[in-house]
Structure 1
């Protein structure tokens, strides 16, 4: 049974009433009061950057943020490349995340999104370098999908992944995601759930919001960071877990035809976690069901993020009560 596109889209969608609080520019504001003028959206949106962070409820009731500092550092990396000025430190944003989650009283899994956009009324199409940003952190409940007995159908897109020479993919910017949106709409029109994009060299890049990996003859292979992929924290997590377990893993350029010969394929990302791909361009992947390596990785990842593993406890940040 495949995960349908609309069902998977609910991974990072509100499943409950809107939260009471949103963090904005250093303080908690009530949801309905967190407003800007419509004319302040426009061009400022083209420069907006963001992060997606998950907080998982542990078995003992603690709320655990997964690799919080790595996500926040990547936000600052995006700001540097986009030449934006974030008027807060990493420690400030860390505290902001804690304050927001406590203020909204979460006792369940939550998705946290820090984002920044140039402040004030921006009328220039070219947002000036060094623009001071407003910084917002919002949050909503999410539903994890640890059941990897199901998978999704993928198709190679005719849309090309944006190039580092045009719009750097390693920047987590809202504008970059229009590339994936076009590919996603095409995939659904063609009867697939999700697309896989190729880069300007016609090598495999990533999905519309997640990296991709294949398994062949027991070796896990994923496109290199120079293949037009986001510097994914989930990708790094999986590669490190494999390496520490002594399992064969390779980062390199990947040909499209390798997808058709793979024993297993899967997406990996913060929102998607580990999502098996059971068909590619209408061809079954392996036996047409999630394979053993994918299932094992998904189980290890689920144990890790919920504090059920003794591996990399330093990746977990407990939300102070």
Structure 2
């Protein structure tokens, strides 16, 4: 059962969620010509009259860039203002997730991005833990992460998520929680909707942008936190065998936050995860506005 927030932004206005409907002939539905964002919000634990959004500016910048890949000019500041208004109209009482979406809204049948109507909507859903905070099991997917020369991976293009969907279902139906995708060069890329990190000998190692990963905002946050905590960080290609002998493995994403990996295929990772736990505790404190050093990452939205 999904608990959607009652109000959506649709076709340039705020309407009841149940009335925000598209036609079955919508272009993006057929060709995957959309792009989305995702951000978390929580009621402020210290102030019941405001909502906290994590890194709203970066999320809006990335969605604006994704829209540009679809030949759609949608300024980041416009997205940001609509999302602030959206939160104030819905006044959520629990942890939630916002899904803004840009798409080709025309009803034509030709696959194209030129001379076609585009649009933008926003809706929200109550959301607790997306993955188990105790840790997940992963399998190496038989599906390969797309390459940037075939699909613009610097944007969250909706059509790209067929691969994520195939990988996730393959993993779950074979007894695992999550999938890890390799890229076309056989190096570790990412999970179905999360970035991946390993810890070896006190260093955090993660695939770089050249490994066909999404430019994750939580990933960026983890790297900044690690550096500030004095933990060495290396961005480089990662081999499959490194996953199996790592001291710690964890996933990061807006929905997943920081989630430890407890098993990969038939290899169990160590149960002690000091670096993962330190980063997760730090990120939780920041999102709850309990860490003054990172207040610029937290956007309070007043409800009065």
Hey, what's the Cα distance between the residues in 1 that align with 2:54 and 2:28?
Answer: 33
State how 1:289-308 maps to structure 2 within 5 Å: 289=271, 291-308=273-290
Hey, what's the Cα distance between the residues in 2 that align with 1:130 and 1:290?
Answer: 56
Hey, what's the Cα distance between the residues in 2 that align with 1:190 and 1:121?
Answer: 39
2:35 to 29, 49, 60: 49
2:152 corresponds to: 168
Show CA shifts across 1:81-111 (max 9, x none): 23x214x432222121122112122132221
State how 1:1-321 maps to structure 2 within 5 Å: 14=2, 16=3, 18-41=4-27, 45-60=31-46, 61=48, 62-82=50-70, 84-86=71-73, 88-124=74-110, 126-129=111-114, 131-144=116-129, 148=133, 150-286=134-270, 289=271, 291-321=273-303
Paired residue secondary structure (1:170): coil
Shift of the alpha carbon at 1:121? Answer: 0.9
TM-score w.r.t. the length of structure 1 is: 0.89
Shift of the alpha carbon at 1:141? Answer: 1.2
Residues 146, 302 of structure 1: 8 Å contact kept: no
The number of residue pairs the alignment matches comes to 301
Shift of the alpha carbon at 1:268? Answer: 0.4
Show CA shifts across 1:190-223 (max 9, x none): 2211110100110000000000000011111000
1:7 corresponds to: none
Tell me how large the CA RMSD over aligned residues is.
1.8
Hey, what's the Cα distance between the residues in 1 that align with 2:27 and 2:137?
Answer: 36
Residues 227, 233 of structure 2: 8 Å contact kept: yes
Q: Which moved more, 1:176-185 or 1:259-268?
A: 176-185
Residues 224, 251 of structure 1: 8 Å contact kept: yes
Hey, what's the Cα distance between the residues in 2 that align with 1:49 and 1:25?
Answer: 16
Hey, what's the Cα distance between the residues in 1 that align with 2:64 and 2:78?
Answer: 12
Hey, what's the Cα distance between the residues in 2 that align with 1:95 and 1:128?
Answer: 26
Return 5+ residue gaps in structure 1 as ranges: 1-12
Hey, what's the Cα distance between the residues in 2 that align with 1:260 and 1:72?
Answer: 36
Paired residue secondary structure (1:300): helix
Paired residue secondary structure (1:293): helix
Show CA shifts across 1:240-291 (max 9, x none): 01111211111001111100110100010000000000111111112xx251
Hey, what's the Cα distance between the residues in 1 that align with 2:167 and 2:277?
Answer: 27
TM-score w.r.t. the length of structure 2 is: 0.93
Shift of the alpha carbon at 1:134? Answer: 1.0
Residues 28, 34 of structure 2: 8 Å contact kept: no
Shift of the alpha carbon at 1:181? Answer: 1.0
* Closer, same or farther: CA 56–42 of 1 in aligned 2, 3 Å: closer
Shift of the alpha carbon at 1:128? Answer: 2.7
Paired residue secondary structure (1:197): strand
Shift of the alpha carbon at 1:76? Answer: 1.4
Residues 183, 212 of structure 2: 8 Å contact kept: yes
